[in-house]
């Protein structure tokens, strides 16, 4: 694969930037629309004007699909106090404290006597000296130490690290749950920052999961766990594979659909 060119498509009032990637193996022009935007794959020697003209013939379809993705992925996150995030399907509100002297304290919360800690309610991680995250009830407290100028980037990094750690905890536990249920040995589980995939399984039997899954409701996260675990026995998507998924999780189709609908919103 060689370098990429950029072009712009105009449809009604919209201007849509897209990337063209050249390949010696391609004979036709292919268009992909997903979280990474609009990408066009084209044969190595096809003149740019011809690629652009072909893309233009699909303008309406591209514009509609693109709008659909943007709508589903919601507004870009700004990483400011009051903004909503998702954790295991629940909406939690971000609260940033930027005074380095006032870290959230471990233990007691100030939510009153009725605030019983729930299963995932009180996670605390301090991944570096002056950065901490604590989920208390519906508030996700983040302790940042940067000045406000750099705080967006810092808060984003802190949150991502926290989500990855939570993903590791929750997903390992769910894989273990299904491994026990099926009487299978516990496979190796890796948490990754996958741009397009929710999970994958390789021939060595290693399972990889996207950390963003921990934002989803547990039944939907479980679908991805079961899907990848079924690949431990059948590496393709043949009818035999889907039969195995169904055997482990009879209502997998509704969960699969939910993943499709909720998944786009998880990319910041
Ligand atoms: Zn699969």
Distances (CA, A) of 120 to 63, 123, 199: 40, 7, 23
pLDDT for position 264:
74
Residue-wise pLDDT for 35-88, tens only, equals 668 999 999 999 999 999 999 999 999 998 888 877 776 667 889 899 999 999
Ligand 1 center to 257 CA (angstroms)? 14
pTM of the model: 0.67
Ligand 1 center to 200 CA (angstroms)? 7
Which region among 16-30, 54-68, 104-118, 239-253 has the lowest average model confidence (pLDDT)? 104-118
Confidence of residue 132 (pLDDT cuts 50, 70, 90): confident
Is the pLDDT at 96 greater than 50? The verdict is yes
DSSP state of 101: T
Ligand 1 center to 172 CA (angstroms)? 18
Structural domain ending residue among the three candidates 131, 163, 195: 163
Which region among 31-35, 71-75, 186-190, 239-243 has the lowest average model confidence (pLDDT)? 71-75
pLDDT for position 146:
64
Confidence of residue 255 (pLDDT cuts 50, 70, 90): very high
Do 136 and 179 have their domain in common? no
Do 260 and 170 have their domain in common? yes
Confidence of residue 126 (pLDDT cuts 50, 70, 90): very low
User: Taking residues 171-192, what's their average pLDDT?
Assistant: 98
Structural domain ending residue among the three candidates 134, 163, 192: 163
Ligand 1 center to 259 CA (angstroms)? 13
DSSP strand E in 52-175: where? 84-87, 90-97, 124-128, 131-136, 139-143
User: Taking residues 104-128, what's their average pLDDT?
Assistant: 44
Q: Which domain holds residue 22?
A: 4-73
In a domain, 79, yes or no: no
Query: Where on the phi/psi map is residue 226: left (φ > 0), alpha (ψ -120 to 50), or beta?
Result: alpha
Is the pLDDT at 166 greater than 70? The verdict is yes
In a domain, 249, yes or no: yes
Ligand 1 center to 82 CA (angstroms)? 37
Is the pLDDT at 108 greater than 60? The verdict is no
In a domain, 54, yes or no: yes
Do 158 and 177 have their domain in common? no
Give the chain's domain count: 3
Ligand 1 center to 238 CA (angstroms)? 10
Is the pLDDT at 131 greater than 70? The verdict is no
Ligand 1 center to 199 CA (angstroms)? 8
Is the pLDDT at 192 greater than 80? The verdict is yes
Structural domain ending residue among the three candidates 163, 179, 200: 163
In a domain, 128, yes or no: yes
Ligand 1 center to 99 CA (angstroms)? 45
Among the listed residues 259, 253, 267, the one whose alpha carbon sits nearest the alpha carbon of residue 194: 267
Is the pLDDT at 118 greater than 50? The verdict is no
User: Taking residues 113-137, what's their average pLDDT?
Assistant: 55
Ligand 1 center to 169 CA (angstroms)? 22
DSSP strand E in 80-130: where? 84-87, 90-97, 124-128
pLDDT for position 109:
44
Distances (CA, A) of 144 to 103, 133, 151, 158: 9, 9, 7, 8
pLDDT for position 111:
45
**Taking all residues of the chain, what is their mean pLDDT, rounded to a whole number?**
85
Confidence of residue 148 (pLDDT cuts 50, 70, 90): low
Do 111 and 144 have their domain in common? yes
Distance in angstroms (rounded) separating the CA atoms of residues 144 and 154: 7
Q: What does the angle CA 160 – CA 264 – CA 67 come to, to the nearest 5 degrees?
A: 130
Q: Are 40 and 52 in contact (CB under 8 A)?
A: no
Ligand 1 center to 198 CA (angstroms)? 9
């Amino acid at each position: 694969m060689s370098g990429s060119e950029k072009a712009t498509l105009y449809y009604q009032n919209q201007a849509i930037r897209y990337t063209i990637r050249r390949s010696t193996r391609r004979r036709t022009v292919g268009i992909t629309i997903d979280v990474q935007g609009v990408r066009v794959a084209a044969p190595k020697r096809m003149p740019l004007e011809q690629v652009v003209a072909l893309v233009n013939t699909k303008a309406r379809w591209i514009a509609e699909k693109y709008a659909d993705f943007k709508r589903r992925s919601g507004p870009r996150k700004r990483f400011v106090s009051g903004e909503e995030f998702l954790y295991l399907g629940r909406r939690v509100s971000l609260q940033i404290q930027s005074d380095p002297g006032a870290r959230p304290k471990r233990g007691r919360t100030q939510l009153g006597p009725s605030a019983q800690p729930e299963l995932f309610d009180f996670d605390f991680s301090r991944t570096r000296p002056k950065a901490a995250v604590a989920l208390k009830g519906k508030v996700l407290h983040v302790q940042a130490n940067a000045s406000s100028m750099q705080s967006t980037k810092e808060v984003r990094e802190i949150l991502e690290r926290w989500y990855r750690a939570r993903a590791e905890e929750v997903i390992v536990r769910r894989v273990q749950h299904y491994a026990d249920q099926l009487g299978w040995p516990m496979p190796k589980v890796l948490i990754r920052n996958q741009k397009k995939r929710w999970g994958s399984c390789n021939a060595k039997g290693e399972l990889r999961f996207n950390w963003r899954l921990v934002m989803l409701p547990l039944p939907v996260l479980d679908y991805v766990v079961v899907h990848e675990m079924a690949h431990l026995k059948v590496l393709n998507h043949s009818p035999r594979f889907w039969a195995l998924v169904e055997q482990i999780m009879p209502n997998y189709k509704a969960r699969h659909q939910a993943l499709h609908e909720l998944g786009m919103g998880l990319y910041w």
